[in-house]
Structure 1
């Protein structure tokens, strides 16, 4: 069934997408699949062709902890990771905060691709390929310039698309389309192409594109064979694999209003991580048919529905947790290297730790309509028997998570005392004040740090006499060229020393009482803050306006897939909207949908 020339055209189309410098309008053959869509990343020229910008993947960014030196001590700083810190918060330099960012085209992430395929075919068991590799930038798989398709990937997509099309048409034809017509009649072909294509592309197909697909369909000898060719072609199309945020120019103003279907896709992927559902597609269809756009009231209505409806809320819960995992670097838990001779940290335990954090995030955001401050100060958590034994907390049994109230002095409350955070930000054998403090400094306060000078040995060495991790780290970093930077991380991180690298509570280490007094040195605003232990640190962070602004900064980056000139205007606008509702987590999320960048774009550099 495979048409070699057609497949080569698809590969040519995809390859042209991956390089902004090589971007061009496609040949007439390639238009069978896609048509001139534009390029990955920022779009430059008014005709949809790009300015010359890099679309480098920026590396893989998988994070884990190295084993340290001879003593198994923690390395100073993070393990190798790409772009772990967001630039210092910029401020809007224009009076009008309605300045949006540039137009972009970005590939679906692995999570989005898999969810979209399942929803498109209405089957959770559909075979999913291990094709894409999402580069991690700032802990997220969201950067538009990093999400591209390479040559080998295009070939793999083609193979998967044809196999999946054969499976879908053979086994699920009645569920992937509403049309019941099964002949090669022109009207029957068009009905199928229009119906399936609308869902696959999250948009209505133009007459030109329908005609292109119809030429493929009509060349086959049966309806089923034609449907297989069309479905396979659509699954390879950039209109399926990419999210396009291009819009149409408003009266030569240089401002591009996103189309109703582009806005619908933005809303759905932002809140649920998958394609728009039928209700949202119908709203976009109706607006487009009237030559109008989705109103702010419609966007708000559908946003609330997606967060609260029983069919979509579980997807929203997962999507919020994806943000939290990236922002707080909780994904480090999965790959953190640990010395199993000290404690056997099983995969099951890691999964329980992450489940505990997800349960608290979901309860805070969705059940309590709470804030990030509530996450930091929660006096309860969700544990099972395994986690209870690990933490030394009673009140839970079996494998299911149970809500338990924490006893003061037994364990600190809040997300910063969760095993997911403490274990992911620890080394193989010892805790790491540097890694834990750096997370707070860069991820909660948005203060970037200078990289260590070249040639510095990052591994903590044991002292000649018994010592705590704090004492070993302080000895290791006492040199002036080290201390100047480590005061920004370690003086925060030592406040976590009640917890070992596995997140277990301790009052002493090597027979020496632990010292959990710390200082937030030179915060973005205000004076230095002295504290003792995680609870006092959490209270400080919960009251900090800097933390709220930092959360908006990271959440905006995650939502919009990049940064741009004057992006501070977007952050400040989102912050104003969120402040009106006390920065409740769902309110911050919804404030993103009211930012100018959510519905408009500019030409870009």
Structure 2
């Protein structure tokens, strides 16, 4: 194990490992933190070209919202370090089994056994990509010595020695940790650190050469250039990762693949349909990021057509025009139990996730709706909620939640349209903030007009971008962003965030 730890500390110094339990914060640099499982996987894939997902098997770590992993160094165990070391070995071995990938990684051959010009070129280029920054001179020398030792002491050929160097690089904290270094002069953080902030925000992965080159030329200092770079990255196929990593985690669509549906009650829910439902939701959400749909239309935007989703829409009456996020089969399924709907969960998805309003129940309050008692006259969900709401400890929250949740009762636990619950006609009417409606289409304009829709999203995205829970000053910054953004597209909101002093690492007074 000692040998393993020594290898893992190459490039950052032993002090980075010896003091890893208390990562320091210098100025506005982010605390050093582990790549998330998804970030590790995509970084390995982009760096080596392999389809590997080794982080899927890493030991679980505690994480804050959006699994940011900030502060996780305090719990980095020997088991986790060993998993990182083994993953580095496995993914490099897989890449070098492929002649095509090997030729992409080993782009030159030495003129002789004593020639190190090619090796220096490879150490410099591969290290820059793996560490998301240019290597210092001493780092280049250290990895060049690793190459020489592989050739002489370990008697490896050139390609095998390059693979050995890559294994050591991927075992270094400079690879598997996000480590931001302070900038020089007036730069709050290194230009490469800003490039990494941008790439892990938009792509969940390492910067490409275009982004690193622009950063090192100082081009990201310019607001217009930073916005243009953001557009380039969103328009890249990798820009779709932002949809699943931010909106998918925030709104829960990433959980669809693991959501449990009772197959005996909902035979239309097949693996093919489940995949299509998730794809439809991602396409819908993409419109707010890479398209021109403003966030203010979240409850009214049309659904993308999907032939594979049709089994869930077959019972829709001709008068029903499904629009908006809440009537997507994805949302209706995720906010249900495996065997029945959950009006409370459906409403909480709006109030807590979309409106950022805390709905934590008082201690000791039962939050689960009691099961139906059976008998000859089982009660509908509305009837059971009405009985539940008679409890004064429950009425406060349920008076807010029930009108929203019950408005969606015409859709079952996988989003199919229905007209009855327990043999009784469904009543989807209610009152929201003093205005009555008869069914969900009447509720949608009321939800769209709620100002919390436009203020919650900037709070969520600012937290995601900065890798931290918001403090009082951050809340003020997010409120200012909301005023400027006015619930437009997420591209427009990203433009404002990436040029903000906080994202660039500047120390600033709260607005």
Q: How does 1:341-380 map to 2 (within 5 A)?
A: 341-344=264-267, 345-367=269-291, 369-380=292-303
Match of 1:389 in 2: 311
User: How much does 1:547 deviate?
Assistant: 0.7
Gaps of 5+ in 2: none
Instruction: Work out which of the residue numbers 448, 451, 457 in structure 2 matches 1:542.
Output: 448
In the superposition, relative to structure 1, how do residues 557 and 143 fare at CA in structure 2: closer, same or farther (>3 Å)? Answer: farther
User: How much does 1:115 deviate?
Assistant: 1.6
Whole-Å Cα distance in 2 between the matches of residues 569 and 134 of structure 1?
34
Match of 1:422 in 2: 332
User: How much does 1:204 deviate?
Assistant: 0.3
Cα distance per residue 1:287-320 (max 9 Å; x no partner)? 3xxxx86322321121111122xxx2x2212322
> Larger % of helix: which?
2
Match of 1:519 in 2: 431
Whole-Å Cα distance in 2 between the matches of residues 104 and 236 of structure 1?
20
Residue pair 2:33, 2:178 contacting (<8 A) in 1 also? yes
In the superposition, relative to structure 1, how do residues 553 and 127 fare at CA in structure 2: closer, same or farther (>3 Å)? Answer: closer
Match of 1:431 in 2: 341
Whole-Å Cα distance in 2 between the matches of residues 584 and 457 of structure 1?
35
Residue pair 2:458, 2:478 contacting (<8 A) in 1 also? yes
User: How much does 1:552 deviate?
Assistant: 1.1
Moved over 6 A (4+): 38-42
- SS of 1:519's equivalent in the other structure is strand
Instruction: Work out which of the residue numbers 76, 81, 98 in structure 2 matches 1:154.
Output: 81
Match of 1:9 in 2: 6
Instruction: Work out which of the residue numbers 458, 478, 486 in structure 1 matches 2:368.
Output: 458
Bigger RCO of structures 1 and 2 (CA < 8 A, at least 6 apart)? 1
> Does residue 215 of structure 1 match 2:145?
yes
Cα distance per residue 1:128-176 (max 9 Å; x no partner)? 4533356585762224234864321221221232243345456444312
- SS of 1:496's equivalent in the other structure is coil
User: How much does 1:422 deviate?
Assistant: 0.6
Instruction: Work out which of the residue numbers 173, 182, 187 in structure 2 matches 1:247.
Output: 182
Whole-Å Cα distance in 1 between the matches of residues 485 and 23 of structure 2?
30
Match of 1:193 in 2: 123
> Does residue 181 of structure 1 match 2:104?
no
Whole-Å Cα distance in 1 between the matches of residues 348 and 367 of structure 2?
18
Instruction: Work out which of the residue numbers 221, 245, 261 in structure 2 matches 1:322.
Output: 245
In the superposition, relative to structure 1, how do residues 494 and 276 fare at CA in structure 2: closer, same or farther (>3 Å)? Answer: same
Match of 2:437 in 1: 531
Stretch moving more, 163-172 or 568-577:
163-172
Whole-Å Cα distance in 2 between the matches of residues 378 and 272 of structure 1?
25
Residue pair 2:361, 2:367 contacting (<8 A) in 1 also? no
Cα distance per residue 1:402-438 (max 9 Å; x no partner)? xxxxx87325311110111111111232211110111
User: How much does 1:493 deviate?
Assistant: 1.2
Whole-Å Cα distance in 1 between the matches of residues 296 and 398 of structure 2?
26
In the superposition, relative to structure 1, how do residues 335 and 531 fare at CA in structure 2: closer, same or farther (>3 Å)? Answer: farther
Residue pair 2:204, 2:245 contacting (<8 A) in 1 also? no
User: How much does 1:44 deviate?
Assistant: 4.1
> Does residue 131 of structure 1 match 2:57?
yes
Residue pair 1:33, 1:213 contacting (<8 A) in 2 also? no
Cα distance per residue 1:496-537 (max 9 Å; x no partner)? 11111121112222332211123345xxxxxx4443332233
Match of 1:283 in 2: 214
Whole-Å Cα distance in 2 between the matches of residues 567 and 364 of structure 1?
24
User: How much does 1:242 deviate?
Assistant: 1.9
In the superposition, relative to structure 1, how do residues 146 and 432 fare at CA in structure 2: closer, same or farther (>3 Å)? Answer: farther
Gaps of 5+ in 1: 12-29, 49-100, 395-406, 522-527
- SS of 2:33's equivalent in the other structure is strand
Whole-Å Cα distance in 1 between the matches of residues 474 and 445 of structure 2?
30
In the superposition, relative to structure 1, how do residues 487 and 330 fare at CA in structure 2: closer, same or farther (>3 Å)? Answer: farther
Match of 1:16 in 2: none
User: How much does 1:273 deviate?
Assistant: 2.0
Q: Tell me how large the CA RMSD over aligned residues is.
A: 3.1
- SS of 1:214's equivalent in the other structure is helix
Residue pair 1:131, 1:157 contacting (<8 A) in 2 also? no
Residue pair 2:295, 2:489 contacting (<8 A) in 1 also? yes
Whole-Å Cα distance in 2 between the matches of residues 32 and 379 of structure 1?
51
Q: How does 1:492-571 map to 2 (within 5 A)?
A: 492-520=404-432, 528-565=434-471, 566-571=473-478
Q: How does 1:91-102 map to 2 (within 5 A)?
A: none
Whole-Å Cα distance in 1 between the matches of residues 390 and 53 of structure 2?
55
Residue pair 1:105, 1:242 contacting (<8 A) in 2 also? yes
User: How much does 1:184 deviate?
Assistant: 4.3
- SS of 1:488's equivalent in the other structure is helix
User: How much does 1:573 deviate?
Assistant: 3.8
Residue pair 1:194, 1:205 contacting (<8 A) in 2 also? yes
Instruction: Work out which of the residue numbers 479, 484, 487 in structure 2 matches 1:572.
Output: 479
Cα distance per residue 1:571-594 (max 9 Å; x no partner)? 134324423xx5112212222212
Match of 1:265 in 2: 196
Match of 2:499 in 1: 594
In the superposition, relative to structure 1, how do residues 299 and 550 fare at CA in structure 2: closer, same or farther (>3 Å)? Answer: same
Residue pair 2:296, 2:488 contacting (<8 A) in 1 also? no
Cα distance per residue 1:464-517 (max 9 Å; x no partner)? 534321111221332111222222322321111111112111222233221112
> Does residue 228 of structure 1 match 2:163?
yes
